[in-house]
Every structure is written in structure tokens, then in C-alpha cells.
Structure 1
Amino acid sequence: MTKRFSQGYALLIGVGESAYKPLSLPVTVKDTQAVYAALIDPDLCAYPDDKEHIRVLNNEEATRSAILDGLKWLKEKAQADREATVLVYYSGHGWVDKTDGRYYLLQHDVKPSKLAASALSAEAFTDALRQIQCDRLLVVIDSCHAAGMATSKDAETAARIDAELLKEFEDFERTALSKGVIDAIKQVKGRVVFTSSEGDQVSWVKDDSCSVYTYHLLEALQGAANQPGDREVKVSNLMNHLSKAVPETARKLYGAEQTPHFDMDAGDFIIANLRGGKGLPDKGWEQVKPEASHKINQIAQNIKQHGKFNTIIEKVSNAQNFHIGDVNHKS
């Protein structure tokens, strides 16, 4: 019988379609849907599949107020459950204002003419995170996407499109979360912070299903860096796999550097069950790797079939004996 990871709570944010179309990043919605599917799968991470444990904000739902409300919801959950393990996952643009060094996450309803005033500032984001009083909180920020990757998988073309967009916002530049912001998040105990890249490196797209970073995160959640007999996935397991696999894939696909950053000063902790609590068999990851790859492909196919870009996850269905997040179109 599956052992539920009942102490797990997650807020997954994929900005996707921006109200200002040139800022749209459809792959970020696919990323959050894929992570959601893995989290609620009883044969994988085994988080309870209900709104008391997981909230997903995609496209027009990923507004500034909704993100802050979601963080407030996590605060309330952590207050009610002293054993809470919390995951905050953001996939979208992250820009810094070159005039004052302030960092912003660009949510759905950002106003291009008043970007600094309307975007979610790092200060507001970190203040909300600090209100979540728990001993185990993992923050994953995949915020260095090139805008050109929304329309082209060719690195040179994507870079040109990205440069044209940034010309429009000449006071801003795309960059990963800065050390100063990470340090601010860590002011409360129990915080571990992952970013998908460093500095101005691009967070690359693997294919039309998800980003390179998310693909390897899904592998790690299935035990890619665990040992035979392990029954849980720890944040150190995620780090060990992502630190090797992401740079290798970025070099292979694009001839580019993408170096994930990990700040684990708060120590290690369990983030999910491994294979529904069954754990890895005697031969370890190599034995289950084909099955894990198949599950990732099934997730991608389901999302592509039912949702594509402008979708939200509303319910869960069983498809071919695989439990994944179903997605429905809004009318």
C-alpha cells in the first residue's frame, strides 16, 4: 500500500501566458504541471492530491496577489502542521533593475510600462517566505528563461529574440536569483534554495515538453541520485543529480553552460517519498531508469494532449495505470 507524504505542502507557480504577450513563457506551465503530476502520483512522491496540500498557479492565475495569497496559505498550513515540509516552485522570468539592483519576478499581470511598480519584488517575495514558520522549506526558482525559447529551439535565434525583448526594457536584465536575495530568504531557519542557473546563464528548454532543469528534477524525484533501499528523496539527492545532469544536457543540446546553484546551509531533509515509499530496488537507479523515463514521457504526452499552453490542472485521472494530473481547458 502506498505511504502518503501527508506532511508535504507545495505551491507551484508557472507564469506561462503573460498579460503582455512578449513576456509569455508557455514551457513554464508545462514545467509546473509536470512537477504537480509527479508530486501527486501515489507511485512517486505521494503527496495528497487535494487543495489542502498543493496549489498550482498557471497563466492568468499566476498574478502578484495570487502568489502572495499562496504563500500566506503555506504560512497557515505550516502553523497547523508542525511536521510540515514545504515546497515553493517558481518558473518564469526573473529580472534585475540595473539602476538600483532590485530583483523582480515577472508574474502574469505585470505592466510593461510600470514594470518595477507592478512586478513581484524580491522583498515582497522573501518577506512572505519568512512568514512560513517550518523547519523544512525548499524554494526552487527557475527564473532565467530566454524569451526566445517560447518560439524557437535554436540557440542563436532564441538569443536574438531575447535581446530584442530586453532592448524594450533597457533598464533591466535577465539574471538568476542573486546571492543577496538568497541570503534574505535564508534569514529564517530551515530554508534551502535552488536556482536553475547562475548569473546571466539561460535556463534552457529540453524539448517542447519541459525545461532541461525540470526534466532532471523529475528524474531526481524518482531516485536518480538515491541508493538501493532508499525509501525517501532528500534535497541532497535532488542537488546531486541536478548538479551533474543539467550542465551535461545544456552542453549537449546547446553547447552552452547552465550551472544550477544550491544553497543548503540549512541542512538536508526529506522532500518526498521515493517510488511511493517502495524505494529503489537492489540494482538501484539503473534498474528503474527506463520506467522513470517512460513516466516522464507519459506526463508530457498527457499535458500535450489535454492542455498545451493555456490550461490549468483541475483533476486527477488514471491513464494506462499511471496517475497523472489531468488538465482541462477553460471556456
Structure 2
Amino acid sequence: MATKESILSHLNWLQQQAAADSEATVLVYYSGHGWLDNATGKYYLIPHDVEPFDIPNSALPADTFTEALRQIPAQRLLVIIDSCHAAGMATAKNTPVETRQQPYGHPSAGASLRLPNNFLPTALPKELIDKLKQGTGRAVFTSSTGEQQSWIRPDGKMSIYTFHFLEALQGAANQPGDQVVTVSNLMNYVGKTVPDSAKQLCQAEQTPFFDFATEDFPVALLHGGKGMPQQGWDEVKAEAQERISQISNVSVEGNQSQMNLSGGSTNININAAGDISNVGIS
């Protein structure tokens, strides 16, 4: 369960794993609510166990999250924040919810947390992105820009951004014969497909943001090291999307699970506060 304590505990575990492997590549993925307190200027990630009437003490401050990430001594660290869900991706435990009927894809479709006074759903602020990317081998992706929202697919199971990111992680942007998925592969693919899908499915604007001060680096092996087949993405697309469907079904059920992508190279931990809480690449 992606509670505040669990998220920080898993980040501590990643720190220990990276400390034991000088060549480690770490990918951390948060998908869920992200709220800015207009009164204080503080940004919060909203975990599963948040108390809606006590956000400052029960949510995960972005500064705390950032500091935990900075303690991970990995040679390469990719952080993805899919956090501008106004509602719809998670509800707090035993919390009354406000239900509004909205078109498919709208972040507020279905049962949702009511946004507290003085809080604004927004993408991760630029100053926090700058802190996250400090150091060598750091890259930060966010699913939207400024006050844009991160839109949900019509089936309600995951965000548009997460869906296309998982496609890219399995080689959607790669060429036949490629052996690895790189940061630039991910960036190029979601940078094109997310705005197109948001416009087509939700009649909305959503522009992913990327910031890194490092050379391009690999984040996953393609198909267990076998590489992209001769026919490219078209040959593996159906299988890849079936894996994504399996992941989304587990996520919607609210269980914690570990699934395998790319034939043994990528482990994904799914928790109930969003789509994916952390991803370990080995």
C-alpha cells in the first residue's frame, strides 16, 4: 500500500540497494495526486493514507521526497512524477468522497478527493525539479506542465502518460536491433504521444516536461536482452499492450504486486495510491 511511510521506506530500500551496487541505475515513478498549498508555497504528494483535513501533517512534502531521492547514490537516476491528477486516481482510506459525473478521461471522473481550500492541483514546480536533478546522472520527467492536468484514459485504469510510458519502456520508440531503452527513447515517445492522446481522447492540452543535466543513459533491456525484433514495434505491440493491461488490472484492484516487463529486465511495484510507486531496473 502506497502510504507515506511505505513510500519513504521503499526509497530507503533503494538507497541501500544503490549503495551496494556502484553501477546501479534507479528509476522512481510516482503517479497520483500532487497539490500545491497556495498559502505556504509547499508542494505535497498525496499518499493513500492522507487525512484530507490535515494535509500538511499527513501528505508527503515534496521537499522530504526530494531529499530522500538525493540520498540514493546511484550512478544514474531517472525520476518520473505523474502528479497533476486533480482527482480520480486515488482516494484516502475511510474518507467521504465527493462524486461528480464527468466525461471519460477527465481527472475528476468518478469518486474523488475534494480539493481542500487554498490547494491547487499542479505539476511539480520548477524549483523542485531543479533540486531533483542536482548531481551527476540525474533526469526528471513530469507528466504535464504548469497547471495542466494529467488525464486519465477512457477505461479509468491509468493515466495517458503512464500508458505511453509503459509502451516506451517496452520499445515503442526503438528501432529493430536496439538492445536497450534509453532516457531519450522515453522522452521522444511520451513527448509526442501524450499530447496527441490527451487531445484525441479528452480534448485537452497536456505537455510532458523533461529536465536532465546528464548524458543519455539506458534504463531497461529490451526483451530480456534479445533486442527489438526485425519487424520492430509492430511485431511486439500486441504483447506489450497485453502486459500493460495486466498491470492496469492489478492497479485498479488496489493490490501491491510485482510484474515483469521486457523478459526479465524490469520489475514494477504497483501500489494503491496511483499507478506505480517505484520501478527497479536490474
1:1-331 alignment, distance < 5 Å:
61-148=1-88, 154=103, 165-166=114-115, 169-206=116-153, 207-300=155-248, 303=249, 308-313=252-257
Cα distance per residue 1:55-78 (max 9 Å; x no partner): xxxxxx222222112111111111
Secondary structure of residue in 2 paired with 1:263: strand
Answer yes or no: is the 8 Å Cα contact 2:14–2:72 preserved in 1: yes
Cα distance per residue 1:153-202 (max 9 Å; x no partner): 61697559899923xx1211000101100011112221111111111211
Answer yes or no: is the 8 Å Cα contact 2:123–2:142 preserved in 1: yes
Cα distance per residue 1:84-143 (max 9 Å; x no partner): 111111111111110121111111222222211322111111111111111111111111
Structure 2 distance, partners of 1:160, 1:219, is 24
Answer yes or no: is the 8 Å Cα contact 1:192–1:267 preserved in 2: no
Q: TM-score, normalised by structure 2?
A: 0.81
Matched to 1:132, the amino acid is: I
Change (3 A) 1:230 1:153: farther
Deviation of 1:237 after TM superposition, in Å, equals 0.6
Unaligned 5+ segments in structure 2 are 91-98, 261-265, 271-282
Deviation of 1:242 after TM superposition, in Å, equals 0.3
Matched to 2:254, the amino acid is: N
Deviation of 1:217 after TM superposition, in Å, equals 1.1
Structure 1 distance, partners of 2:53, 2:168, is 40
Write 1 or 2 for the structure with the bigger share of helix: 1
CA RMSD, 1 decimal: 2.9
Matched to 2:6, the amino acid is: A
Corresponding position of 1:48: none
Secondary structure of residue in 2 paired with 1:165: coil
Change (3 A) 1:178 1:109: same
Matched to 1:86, the amino acid is: V
What is the aligned residue count?
Answer: 255
Matched to 1:130, the amino acid is: R
Change (3 A) 1:185 1:226: same
Structure 1 distance, partners of 2:110, 2:252, is 22
Change (3 A) 1:200 1:109: same
Unaligned 5+ segments in structure 1 are 1-60, 318-322
Answer yes or no: is the 8 Å Cα contact 2:84–2:122 preserved in 1: yes
